[in-house]
Structure 1
Amino acid sequence: MSSTPPPPYGQSPLRAVQVLGGGSAGSSAHVRSLTAGLVARGVRVTVCAPAELERAYGFAGAGADVVTVPRRSDPLTVASLRAACARADIVHAHGLHAAVRCAFALGGRLRGDRGRQGVRFAGPPPLVVTWHTRAHAEGVRSHAVRLMERRAVRAAAVVLGTSSELVDRARDRGARDARLAPVTVPAVKPSDDFHEGKARADLGAVDRPLVMAVGSLVPYRGYDVLLDAARAWRERDPAPLLTIAGEGRERAALQRRIEAEDLPVQLLGQREDVAELLAAADVAVLPSRWEARSVLAQEALRAAVPLVATEVGGVPELVGDAAEFVPYGDADALARTVLGLLDDPERRARLADAGLRQAATWPTEDETVAQVLSVYDELTGLA
C-alpha cells in the first residue's frame, strides 16, 4: 500500500471517524480496508461500530482507535457518537442507519476544538455518507425509510453511492452532492491447504453438481424463489446440490420447506470458509430482488466461478457480460439457466474467463482509498 508524506510542519494529521451501524459484510469489509489505507497515509482513524463488528473485522488491528457504539439509536448511543466525533476533522458514515445517527449526533454545534491548522471552529465536522445498499421496506415502513434517507443525505456534505442507481436515489432524496464511488471489497482467497475434492466431499457433492449461494437469510435475497428452482431440478440424477451460506430470520421457514418438499438444499449457516466453498462450486447463484455491488458477485467472478444473477440494481453495472441474467422472481428461468450451465462446460469456461477480465476492471483497494481521501481533503480545505 502506498503512503503519502506526513503533514506539513505545524499541521496535525487528518482525524477521520468511520461510523458503522448494522454493518453488512460489504460495508464492514470496506471500512476495514479503508481504515488500513488511511492509516498508512498518516490519517488518524477512529472506528465507531458495534462490538461484534470489531470482533469480526478487527479495525483495531488495522490501526484504528475503536469506540464501541451499539446498533441502537437511543440518546446514550447518540451521545457516545457525538463524543467520539467531537475532535474529528471529517466524519464518514457507512449505511443509512449510521448516517441518520451521525446526523443527530452532529446536529449540535461542537465548540472549543481546533482544526488541523490551529483555527478554531464552532460548527460540526463535514459528514460524508457512503450508501452501500438501500433499505428494503414495504407499506408504512417504506415511508419511514424515505424520511430517514432524506434526513441522512441532506445532512451530508457529500454522498458516495456504490452504484449509479444509488447516486440517483440520493439526488432524488435531496443530496447536495452525490457521486459514484464503486467500492470493491478486498479479495479473499482460499487457504493454502484448500483441496476442492475435500471441500466437495464435506458437503456431500462428490458425484453431483454443486450450486452455491451466499447471503443473509432475509426476504429480499430471493431464497424462496431459489428453493422453487431447486424443486425443479430435484428429479435429476444426480440432483444438483444447492448450498446456502448465511444466517437470518428466514432460516426456520426455509428449513421447513426443504424438509417438507425433500429439496436438495443445505443451509450451512454463517461460515468463515466461504472462499473455499465458492471455489469448489460449479455455479454461483444470486437470486436477490435488489443488490448494489454484491459481495457474492465479486467473489464469484474473482474465483472464476460462473454466476447466474437477477438483472437488478447495480448487478449489471458490476458484472457486465460476465454472468447469465434472469428476471427476479422467475423460478423457471432460474432453474433453466442453472441447469443449462451445468450441462455446458464450454459455456462455464467462457463465463469464468469473462469474470476474471471483468474483475480486473474494478477499482483496487488503493484506488478506493485515494478517492475517499481526495473527498476528505476537498471538504477540509486541503485539496
Structure 2
Amino acid sequence: MHQPPPPPRPRVLHVTQPVDGGVARVVRDLARAQLTAGLRVAAACPGGELGAGLRELGVDVRPWRAGRSPGPGLPGEIRRLARLIEEVRPELVHAHSAKAGLAARLAVRGRVPTVFQPHAWSFEAVGGPTAALALRWERWGARWADRVVCVSQAERTTGLRAGVHASYAVIPNGIDLDRHSAPAGPSRAALLPDLDPAAPLVVCVGRLCRQKGQDLLLRAWDHVVCRLPGARLALVGDGPDRDALRRRARALGPAVRFAGAVTDTVPWYRAADLVVLPSRWEGMALAPLEALACGRPVVLSDVDGARESLPPALTPHCLVPPEDPEALARAITALLSDAPLRASLGGRGRGHVQSTHDVRHTADRVADLYRELLGGRPPVSTERRESLHP
C-alpha cells in the first residue's frame, strides 16, 4: 500500500538585526545546530559577515535591507520583511534583538507562530523619552509573540518588573565548545609582538559602545597601572565609540592597545591573563562564557545574566557593581596579582561552561519550544498567510 511521504520538517526563519557581535554569534551557532538536527533554516538579515557565514552553513539567506535602529525608514523595512516572509513561507519566525523584534512582530502580527528573543531589553539601551517609547512598544508588542525567550532569569525579571507581560521561556546562552577547545591559533607573541611576555594582559572583547562599558574600564585602568605599572589592556572589537575611546586612552600611552575587529576571538582569550567585561546592561553576554571555555578567569559587572553565567565559587572574585571604576580596578588588580587564584578560577569556570552552556543543549531547548508552538497551532494555510503585508 502506497504511503504518503512524510511532511517536510518545519522551516524556521531567523530575523536578525544587528548582524554583528554576540547576537550574530548566537544566531550562527543556533542555525548550525538546527541544520545538524535536520531543521530547514532560513534567515532574513541585512547581510554582512553574518549573512555570508550563514550561507556557508547552508542556510537560505534572504537579504533584508534594514538599519540597526528604528527610524523614518521603519515602515519600508516592515513592508520588505512582510514580502520576504511571504516568499519564504516559514512555519515559525524567530526574531532576534530589539530592532528585528519590532519589525518582525509588526510584519507578522500573530499570523505565524513567533518567537522574540530580546538579547537585552530595548528600554535599557536608551534614556529619556526614547526609553519610554521603547517600553511602551515592548508592552504592546508582547501580544504578538507566542514566546519571549530570555537568556537569563534576571532578564525575564527585568521584563516583568517593567510591565512586559508575556509568555516567557528562559533558555541560557550556549557557545560552540568545540571551537573553544580547538588547537590554539596565533600566539600571544604573534598578536602583540612588542609586548613583554611577563606583562600582565587584560583583554576586553566586545563592540566599542556605551553598553559594553569600555569607557569605565579605561577609567579603572588609571588605578590598575598605578599598582601594576607593567599591566597592559587590549580592547578587541570596533564600534561607534572607537574614536572617543582612543582619545581617552591617549593619556595611558602603551598601556592600552586597540586590536580592532577580529574574525576569531579565541586567540585573544587564550593570550589573556584575565578577561573583563564592564557592561552597563546585558541579557547574558557571550564573551565571558567564551573566555571561561578557554580557561580564563573573568571580571564582570553584576548586570542581568552575569551572576547566572558564573558558578557560585567565582562570584566573590569576578563580579563588581556596575558603573564603579574603582571597584573594577580593585578586582582586576587583585586577580592580576594572584596567578594561582586565576588558574583555579579559570579551571572551575571552564568546567561550569562545559556542563551548563553547550550550544547543543541550548539548541535542544529551542527545538522543544518550537515543537510546543507548532504542535499547539494548526498548520499555516494559504488563507492564514494572506494579508501578511501591513
TM-score by structure 1 length? Answer: 0.86
Residues 126/200 of structure 1: CA separation in 2 closer, same or farther (3 Å cut): closer
**2: CA distance, partners of 1:99 / 1:76:** 15
Please say if residues 184 and 267 of structure 2, whose CA atoms lie closer than 8 Å, have aligned partners that are also in contact.
no
| Candidates 15, 28, 35, aligned match of 2:31 | 35
**2: CA distance, partners of 1:24 / 1:150:** 26
| Candidates 2, 16, 20, aligned match of 1:20 | 16
Are 1:142 and 2:139 counterparts?
no
**2: CA distance, partners of 1:143 / 1:83:** 30
1:214 is matched with: 205
**Once the two structures are superposed, what CA deviation does each residue of 1:13-66 show, in whole Å capped at 9, x if it has no partner?**
21211110113522222222222232333322210011114345x112222211
Residues 1-383 of structure 1 aligned to structure 2 (within 5 Å): 9-55=5-51, 58-72=53-67, 73-86=73-86, 87-107=89-109, 124-135=111-122, 136-171=125-160, 172-187=162-177, 188-189=179-180, 192=183, 194=185, 196-199=187-190, 201-202=192-193, 204-236=195-227, 238-262=229-253, 264-320=255-311, 321-323=313-315, 324-381=318-375
**2: CA distance, partners of 1:8 / 1:50:** 39
**2: CA distance, partners of 1:277 / 1:352:** 15
**1: CA distance, partners of 2:151 / 2:289:** 13
Deviation of residue 201 (structure 1)?
4.2
In structure 2, the residue corresponding to 1:361 is in which secondary structure?
A: helix
Q: Which has the higher helix share?
A: 2
Please say if residues 175 and 357 of structure 2, whose CA atoms lie closer than 8 Å, have aligned partners that are also in contact.
no
Residues 201/35 of structure 1: CA separation in 2 closer, same or farther (3 Å cut): closer
**1: CA distance, partners of 2:287 / 2:230:** 23
1:115 is matched with: none
Structure ranking higher on relative contact order (CA contacts 8 Å, 6+ apart): 2
TM-score by structure 2 length? Answer: 0.85
Query: Which amino acid counterpart does residue 45 of structure 1 have in structure 2?
Result: V
Deviation of residue 276 (structure 1)?
0.5
**2: CA distance, partners of 1:75 / 1:351:** 49
Residues 261/38 of structure 1: CA separation in 2 closer, same or farther (3 Å cut): closer
Cα RMSD, aligned residues only: 2.4
**Once the two structures are superposed, what CA deviation does each residue of 1:251-280 show, in whole Å capped at 9, x if it has no partner?**
111111211354611121111232101101
Which ranges of structure 1 fall in alignment gaps of 5 or more residues?
1-6, 108-122
Deviation of residue 10 (structure 1)?
4.7
**2: CA distance, partners of 1:374 / 1:217:** 35
1:120 is matched with: none
Deviation of residue 77 (structure 1)?
2.5
**Once the two structures are superposed, what CA deviation does each residue of 1:279-321 show, in whole Å capped at 9, x if it has no partner?**
0111111111122221111111111112111122110011133
Query: Which amino acid counterpart does residue 76 of structure 1 have in structure 2?
Result: G
In structure 1, the residue corresponding to 2:26 is in which secondary structure?
A: helix
Which ranges of structure 2 fall in alignment gaps of 5 or more residues?
68-72, 378-390
Query: Which amino acid counterpart does residue 176 of structure 1 have in structure 2?
Result: A
Please say if residues 46 and 64 of structure 2, whose CA atoms lie closer than 8 Å, have aligned partners that are also in contact.
yes
**2: CA distance, partners of 1:23 / 1:215:** 14
Please say if residues 200 and 206 of structure 1, whose CA atoms lie closer than 8 Å, have aligned partners that are also in contact.
no
